[in-house]
């Protein structure tokens, strides 16, 4: 029986040689998703690190290219709903019929687009995400997905993370970009703000880093003197070498041990000193909001000559709104809007906003017809947006019809996410999309960057 | 059952004088020396949370069969927690009301239980049937469910989990009704809990219909429980996984349990929980056969995995990345330390694992994915807490600066519970000890006993939280 909603594996249609360029062969060790265990296997610096070549003073290299453009990936986990995020007020009756349990009564309007916007997205500095839209700094991408979407969170998320409609383990799409265009030394070039590495930034060989806070990075033993510290760190390196064993586990430990030391070394100059915090935020972010805190740290790090090129942050809220959607989505979008508006203001105040572009995305959308639990089930045709001083503003893709649905009563997909990836790689990062996205030419391009 | 292979028939004439020995098994031929402390350490880490020095010695002497029996079946007399119950801020744990105490309560069981495999399998089910964002009493009730079925039958466990209030609320099975079936639970039932693949979108929708009928009850005092209401159940004909019928809840669960994909799916996932290298197709077939023959019992499958030679391969070079809670509970257990504070709660979370809060219904990403620059740094921090507040504390004035470097290392290894230390690791630590006093003029060195203390701290810290300690 052919599954109705299964991503057609168009990746298989490429030649074997082409596939091998994107899939690091040793990553295929284990079925990434089918087993349930492990999700996407990402050995993010799987090749042997050149220990001898570890350059401790790599700051010089970063300083040589301090003004590189930065692409930030913001993931809304769970499958964010299009209809209640950008309600189609032009077809309000149809919308209200589909969503008796969750519909927004009179949402703020997005200019003359025929769309409204969730009131939570007006919250934050300067009117939140809506304020940024009004200023021409947000371009919405309704109907984004891929043909015949797979409604499993884990499959779809893996496809978005890797930019490949394939269940095989592979580096992330921005990780592949780093493998081609990044540094062989600087882990801060690919930065996850969070305790575990984002699969979007999983690389085949380029070093990348994950951190919760730039303050909590040093390898310190309590009750020892500063004088002995270099000896501790030398022992750490020897113990890293001494960690024998083949396979992905020992390799991941060795690599992470090297990177932990290097991240600690590189961020040591930014430690708080004499009550002064060189990384303090320059605008007010919402308090007690993890997403905002991570964004504020990211903004501070981007503004330093640390060579950050791609970064990933995950939102905190609940977007898998099978029930209680009105409250959960309002809370989740409020955090997103307040955080992203403060992030943009922070980047502008630091004078670096011209070189940062943000892509906000989710793994799929939700079914137009709501369920009885005041929620909505997994569906196709979601919502994403680009944000930044150089983002093209407006509604950049066709809003899916509410009446001409697919055979599963889902929205019809109006733009493939790989078209957005290819457009950002070329238009923003300035490199060939074909190197990262297989058959990138087939998707066409969107004008996302001005 | 692979529990004990029967001895081959003794050869005529020799049977009277020599005990029969299977010629193929090198380990058996070497007798008790084929089962060493290194084997015990490997087994105890994989099946539990590490072995203390005393456990490693005792079980190496008692042999392979006795050790595996103890791990799998437990000691006579039932479950016990060894040692004093933890106290935080001078008070007993209050798992329901105090923040983080639910996690500490479970970590403490991992540290002190005489059934480490039961706690380890409870963790397996917590990941397998990952549930999150529910009130603590419901999560603790679910935890008791996992523990009582830890090594039991999968079918009764699945039937209980399907009715478990925390799960029902998390995956919207509660209040999925005939009129408005919610597909959330049906989808994860097939994708994550039983089959992995081999079902269609239609199967999900039809199974969702068959699972309808549960209603949640709420009053102004909050959640009052789940009830099955027959009138909310869709009793029409469904077509699920190629079968037609008026399927109800238990029948759908039977359909997925009896599906040919279920046994290979579950035994593979169990294998991956214990062994880093993937199972061969033959191993999957053998485990699936054991699983089916036993009527979907988990214990014989786990026993077969724990007896498998692959688990003991390359004892000198461990290859399985410890999960954060395994790492933390193991560091406490193997050093003989107790939970005395909240630090394991936030530390575990910043390493990427918070008990009772899996990141999604797919659970955590295990294996190499635990590792990142941040995770290693947070794992390093653990050393500070264990060395300062645990049993490996460094006593003031106990160590002389005149101690020889190799002796200082030997003292540190013994102080942290004598974990396996490779020659290369020992050499690195000895080198550190040799150079620890380098900045102090030679004439003063013998008086620099304070520096001997910081050396002990550092050596113990690196043994507990160094790169090698991340693997088992």
Q: Do B265 and A232 touch (CB under 8 A)?
A: no
**Secondary structure letter of residue B280 according to DSSP:** P
Does B173 reside within a domain?
Answer: yes
Q: Which domains does chain A have, with CATH numbers?
A: 10-270+277-443 (3.40.720)
- The residue among B261, B287, B376, B469 with the most chain A CBs within 10 A of its CB, best to mutate, is B376
pLDDT at A15 over 80: no
Q: What angle do CA B372, B375, B377 make, to 5 degrees?
A: 110
Which of B321, B377, B432 shows the shortest C-beta gap to A260? B377
- Least Cα separation, residue B193 to chain A (angstroms): 9
Query: Which residue of chain A has the CA closest to B424?
Result: A242
Backbone angles phi, psi at B218, to 5 degrees: -130, 140
More confident residue, B23 or B60: B60
pLDDT band at B1 (very low <50, low <70, confident <90, very high): very low
- Least Cα separation, residue B50 to chain A (angstroms): 18
Q: Do B269 and A37 touch (CB under 8 A)?
A: yes
pLDDT at A294 over 90: yes
The string of pLDDT tens digits covering residues A342-394 is 999 999 999 999 999 999 999 999 999 999 889 999 999 999 999 999 999 99
pLDDT at B239 over 50: yes
Which of A40, A152, A322 shows the shortest C-beta gap to B182? A322
- The residue among A256, A315, A324 with the most chain B CBs within 10 A of its CB, best to mutate, is A256
Q: Do A253 and B471 touch (CB under 8 A)?
A: yes
Nearest CA to A365 out of A408, A335, A426 is that of: A408
Q: Do A250 and B180 touch (CB under 8 A)?
A: no
**Residue A12: what pLDDT?**
37
pLDDT at B18 over 80: no
**Residue A65: what pLDDT?**
53
Q: Which of B295, B312, B329 is the last residue of a domain?
A: B312
**Residue A318: what pLDDT?**
84
Q: Which of B296, B312, B328 is the last residue of a domain?
A: B312
**Residue A26: what pLDDT?**
32
The two three-digit tokens of residue B121, written as one number: 């399998």
pLDDT at A156 over 50: yes
Helix (H, G, I), strand (E, B) or coil at B23: coil
**Residue A426: what pLDDT?**
97
pLDDT band at B65 (very low <50, low <70, confident <90, very high): very high
Would you say B216 and B168 are in contact if contact means Cβ atoms under 8 Å apart?
Answer: yes
pLDDT at B21 over 70: no
pLDDT at B79 over 70: yes
Q: Do A235 and B462 touch (CB under 8 A)?
A: yes
- Least Cα separation, residue A307 to chain B (angstroms): 17
pLDDT band at A30 (very low <50, low <70, confident <90, very high): very low
Nearest CA to A391 out of A316, A447, A322, A350 is that of: A447
Q: Do B471 and A245 touch (CB under 8 A)?
A: yes
Contacting A residues, span 332-361, partner chain B, CB-CB under 8 Å: none
Q: What angle do CA A151, A152, A156 make, to 5 degrees?
A: 85
Does B58 reside within a domain?
Answer: no
Instruction: Say whether both B300 and B415 belong to one domain.
Output: no
Distance between CA A305 and CA A325 in Å, rounded? 42
- Least Cα separation, residue A110 to chain B (angstroms): 32
Distance between CA A425 and CA B379 in Å, rounded? 36
Domain of residue B465, residue span: 405-470
**Residue B211: what pLDDT?**
98
| Chain A CB contacts of B361 below 8 Å | 153
The string of pLDDT tens digits covering residues B112-155 is 999 999 999 999 999 999 998 899 999 999 999 999 999 999 99
pLDDT at B210 over 50: yes
- Least Cα separation, residue A291 to chain B (angstroms): 15
**Residue A9: what pLDDT?**
38
Distance between CA B408 and CA B405 in Å, rounded? 5
**Residue A245: what pLDDT?**
85
**Residue B222: what pLDDT?**
84
**Residue A27: what pLDDT?**
33
Does B367 reside within a domain?
Answer: no
Query: B335 to each of A219, A336, B427, how far by Cα in Å?
Result: 21, 44, 22
pLDDT at B188 over 80: yes
Instruction: Say whether both B171 and B305 belong to one domain.
Output: yes
pLDDT band at B386 (very low <50, low <70, confident <90, very high): very high
Does B182 reside within a domain?
Answer: yes
The string of pLDDT tens digits covering residues A390-422 is 999 999 999 999 999 998 899 999 999 999 999
Helix (H, G, I), strand (E, B) or coil at B222: strand
Contacting A residues, span 173-202, partner chain B, CB-CB under 8 Å: 187, 192, 194-197
**Residue B354: what pLDDT?**
94
| Chain B CB contacts of A150 below 8 Å | none
Whole-structure pTM value: 0.81
Instruction: Say whether both B288 and B184 belong to one domain.
Output: yes
Q: Percent of chain B having pLDDT more than 70? A: 93
The string of pLDDT tens digits covering residues B324-350 is 999 999 999 999 999 999 999 989 999
Domains identified in chain B, total number: 2
Instruction: Say whether both B298 and B175 belong to one domain.
Output: yes
**Residue B73: what pLDDT?**
97
The string of pLDDT tens digits covering residues A178-230 is 999 999 989 999 999 988 889 999 998 899 999 988 988 999 999 999 899 99
- Number of Cβ within 10 Å of residue A154's Cβ equals 22
Q: What is the 3-state secondary structure (H, E, C) of chain A?
A: CCCCCCCCCHHHHCCHHHHHHHCCHHHHHCCCCCCCCCCCCCCCCCCCCCHHHCCCCCHHHHHHCCCCCEEEEEECCCCCCCCCCCCCHHHHHHHHHHCCCCCCCCCCECCCCCCECCHHHHCCHHHHHHHHHHCCCEEECCCEECCCCCCCHHHHHHHHHHCCCCCCCCCCHHHHHHHHHCCCCCHHHEEEECCCCCHHHCCCCCCCEEECCCCCCCCCCCCCCHHHHHHHHHHHHHHHHHCCCCCHHHHHHHHHHHHHHHHHHHHHHHCCECCECCCCCCCCCCCCCHHHHHHHHHHHHHCCCCCCCEEEEECCCCCCCCCCHHHHHHHHHHHHHHHHHHHHHHHHHCCCHHHEEEEEECCCEECCCCCCCCCCCEECCECCEEECCCECCEECCCCCCCCCCCCCCCCCCCEEHHHHHHHHHHHHHCCCHHHCCCCHHHHCCCCCEC
Contacting A residues, span 223-242, partner chain B, CB-CB under 8 Å: 223-225, 227-228, 231-232, 234-236, 238-242
| Chain A CB contacts of B196 below 8 Å | 34-36
pLDDT band at A152 (very low <50, low <70, confident <90, very high): confident
| Chain A CB contacts of B431 below 8 Å | 235, 238
Q: Do A153 and B352 touch (CB under 8 A)?
A: no
More confident residue, A17 or A199: A199
Q: Do B177 and A210 touch (CB under 8 A)?
A: no
Which of B362, B458, B461 shows the shortest C-beta gap to A154? B362
The string of pLDDT tens digits covering residues A317-335 is 889 999 999 999 999 999 9
| Strongest mean pLDDT among A10-19, A50-59, A169-178, B103-112 | B103-112
**Residue A272: what pLDDT?**
82
| Chain A CB contacts of B466 below 8 Å | 236, 239
Distance between CA B9 and CA B83 in Å, rounded? 46
Contacting A residues, span 36-75, partner chain B, CB-CB under 8 Å: 36-44
**Residue A66: what pLDDT?**
56
Instruction: Say whether both B160 and B292 belong to one domain.
Output: yes
Does B210 reside within a domain?
Answer: yes
- Least Cα separation, residue A323 to chain B (angstroms): 7
Which of A36, A212, A239 shows the shortest C-beta gap to B466? A239
pLDDT at B80 over 80: yes
pLDDT at A10 over 70: no
Mean pLDDT for all residues in chain B: 92
pLDDT at B25 over 70: no
**Residue A257: what pLDDT?**
96
Does B73 reside within a domain?
Answer: no
Q: Do B372 and A210 touch (CB under 8 A)?
A: yes
The string of pLDDT tens digits covering residues B450-471 is 999 999 999 999 999 999 999 9
Which of B133, B388, B425 shows the shortest C-beta gap to A239? B425
pLDDT band at B388 (very low <50, low <70, confident <90, very high): very high
Does B465 reside within a domain?
Answer: yes
Does B384 reside within a domain?
Answer: no
pLDDT at B415 over 70: yes
**Residue B432: what pLDDT?**
98
**Secondary structure letter of residue B111 according to DSSP:** H
pLDDT at A55 over 60: no
Query: B242 to each of B200, B207, B245, B376, B403, how far by Cα in Å?
Result: 10, 12, 10, 48, 74
- The residue among B374, B392, B432, B454 with the most chain A CBs within 10 A of its CB, best to mutate, is B374
Query: Which residue of chain B has the CA closest to A228?
Result: B436
Distance between CA A420 and CA A449 in Å, rounded? 11
Query: Which residue of chain B has the CA closest to A233?
Result: B432
Distance between CA B72 and CA B350 in Å, rounded? 32
Q: Which of B312, B329, B361 is the last residue of a domain?
A: B312
pLDDT at A63 over 90: no
Q: Do A244 and B317 touch (CB under 8 A)?
A: yes
The string of pLDDT tens digits covering residues B289-320 is 999 999 999 999 999 999 999 999 999 999 99
| Chain A CB contacts of B360 below 8 Å | 77, 153-154
- The residue among B169, B264, B352, B372 with the most chain A CBs within 10 A of its CB, best to mutate, is B372
**Residue A334: what pLDDT?**
98
A268 in contact with chain B, both atoms CB, cutoff 8 A: no
The string of pLDDT tens digits covering residues A117-144 is 999 999 999 999 999 999 999 999 999 9
**Residue A356: what pLDDT?**
98
């Amino acid at each position: 029986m052919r599954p109705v909603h299964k991503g057609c594996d168009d990746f298989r249609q490429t030649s074997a040689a082409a596939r091998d360029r994107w899939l690091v062969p040793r990553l295929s060790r284990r079925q990434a998703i089918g087993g349930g265990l492990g999700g996407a296997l990402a050995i993010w610096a799987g090749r042997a690190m050149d220990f001898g070549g570890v350059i401790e003073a790599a700051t010089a290299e970063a300083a040589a290219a301090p003004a590189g453009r930065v692409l930030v990936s913001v993931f809304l986990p769970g499958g964010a709903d299009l209809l209640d995020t950008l309600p189609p007020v032009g077809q309000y009756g149809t919308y209200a019929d589909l969503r008796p349990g969750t519909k927004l009564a009179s949402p703020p309007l997005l200019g003359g687009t025929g769309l409204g916007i969730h009131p939570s997205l007006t919250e934050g500095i300067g009117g939140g995400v809506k304020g940024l839209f009004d200023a021409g700094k947000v371009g919405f991408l309704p109907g984004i997905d891929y043909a015949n979407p797979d409604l499993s969170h884990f499959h779809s998320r893996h496809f978005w993370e890797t930019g490949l409609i394939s269940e095989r383990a592979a580096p992330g799409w921005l990780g592949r970009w780093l493998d081609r265009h990044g540094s062989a030394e600087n882990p801060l070039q690919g930065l996850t703000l969070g305790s575990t590495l984002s699969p979007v930034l999983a690389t085949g060989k380029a070093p990348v880093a994950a951190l919760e806070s730039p303050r909590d990075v040093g390898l310190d033993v309590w009750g020892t003197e500063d004088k002995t510290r270099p000896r501790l760190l030398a022992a750490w390196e020897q113990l890293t070498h001494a960690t024998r064993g083949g396979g992905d586990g020992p390799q991941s430990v060795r690599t992470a041990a090297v990177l932990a030391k290097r991240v600690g070394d590189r961020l040591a100059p930014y430690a708080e000193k004499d009550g002064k915090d060189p990384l303090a935020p320059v605008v007010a972010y919402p308090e007690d909001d993890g997403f905002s805190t991570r964004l504020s740290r990211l903004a501070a790090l981007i503004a330093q000559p640390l060579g950050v090129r791609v970064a990933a942050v995950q939102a905190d809220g609940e977007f898998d709104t099978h029930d209680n959607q009105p409250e959960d989505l309002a809370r989740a979008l409020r955090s997103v809007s307040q955080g992203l508006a403060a992030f943009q203001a922070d980047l502008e105040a630091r004078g670096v906003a011209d070189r940062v572009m943000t892509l906000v995305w989710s793994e799929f959308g939700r079914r137009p017809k709501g369920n009885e639990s005041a929620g909505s089930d997994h569906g196709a045709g979601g919502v994403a947006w680009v944000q930044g001083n150089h983002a093209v503003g407006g509604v950049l893709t066709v809003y899916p019809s509410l009446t001409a649905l697919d055979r599963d009563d889902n929205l019809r997909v109006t733009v493939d996410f790989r078209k957005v990836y290819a457009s950002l790689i070329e238009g923003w990062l300035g490199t060939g999309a074909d190197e990262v996205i297989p058959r990138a030419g087939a998707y066409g391009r969107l004008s996302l960057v001005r | 059952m692979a529990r004990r292979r029967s001895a081959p028939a003794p050869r005529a004439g020799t049977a009277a004088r020599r005990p029969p020995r299977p010629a193929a098994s090198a380990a058996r031929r070497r007798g008790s020396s084929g089962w060493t402390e290194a084997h015990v350490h490997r087994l105890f880490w994989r099946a539990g949370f590490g072995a203390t020095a005393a456990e490693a010695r005792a079980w190496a002497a008692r042999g392979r069969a006795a050790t595996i029996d103890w791990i799998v079946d437990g000691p006579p007399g039932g479950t016990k927690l060894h040692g004093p119950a933890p106290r935080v801020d001078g008070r007993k744990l209050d798992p329901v009301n105090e923040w983080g105490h639910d996690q500490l309560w479970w970590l403490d069981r991992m540290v002190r239980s005489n059934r480490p495999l039961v706690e380890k399998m409870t963790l397996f089910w917590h990941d397998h049937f990952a549930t999150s964002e529910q009130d603590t009493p419901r999560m603790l009730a679910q935890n008791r469910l996992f523990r009582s079925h830890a090594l039991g039958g999968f079918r009764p466990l699945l039937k209980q989990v399907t009715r478990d209030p925390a799960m029902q609320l998390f995956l919207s099975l509660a209040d999925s009704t005939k009129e408005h079936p919610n597909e959330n639970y049906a989808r994860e039932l097939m994708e994550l809990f039983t089959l992995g693949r081999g079902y269609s979108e239609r199967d999900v929708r039809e199974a969702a219909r068959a699972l309808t009928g549960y209603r949640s009850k709420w009053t102004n005092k909050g959640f009052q429980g789940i009830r099955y209401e027959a009138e909310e159940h869709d009793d029409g004909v469904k077509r699920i996984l190629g079968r037609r019928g008026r399927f109800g809840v238990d029948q759908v669960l039977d359909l997925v349990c009896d599906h040919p994909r279920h046994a290979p799916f579950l035994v593979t996932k169990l294998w991956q929980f214990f062994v880093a290298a993937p199972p061969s197709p033959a191993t999957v077939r053998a485990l699936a056969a054991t699983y089916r023959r036993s009527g979907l019992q988990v214990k014989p499958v786990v026993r077969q995995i724990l007896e498998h030679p692959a688990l003991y391969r390359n004892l000198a070079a461990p290859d399985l990345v410890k999960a954060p809670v395994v790492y933390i509970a193991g560091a406490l257990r193997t050093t003989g330390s107790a939970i005395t504070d909240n630090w394991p709660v936030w530390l575990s979370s910043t390493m990427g694992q918070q008990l009772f809060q899996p990141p999604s219904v797919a659970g955590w990403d295990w294996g190499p994915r635990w590792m990142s620059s941040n995770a290693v740094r947070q794992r390093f921090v653990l050393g500070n807490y264990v060395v300062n507040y645990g049993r490996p504390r460094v006593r003031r004035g106990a160590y002389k600066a005149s101690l020889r470097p190799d002796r200082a290392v030997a003292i540190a290894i013994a102080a942290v519970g004598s974990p396996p230390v490779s020659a290369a690791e020992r050499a690195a630590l000895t080198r550190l000890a040799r150079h620890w006093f380098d900045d102090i003029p030679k004439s003063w060195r013998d008086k620099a006993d304070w520096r001997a203390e910081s050396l002990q701290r550092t050596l113990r810290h690196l043994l507990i939280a160094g790169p090698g300690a991340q693997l088992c």
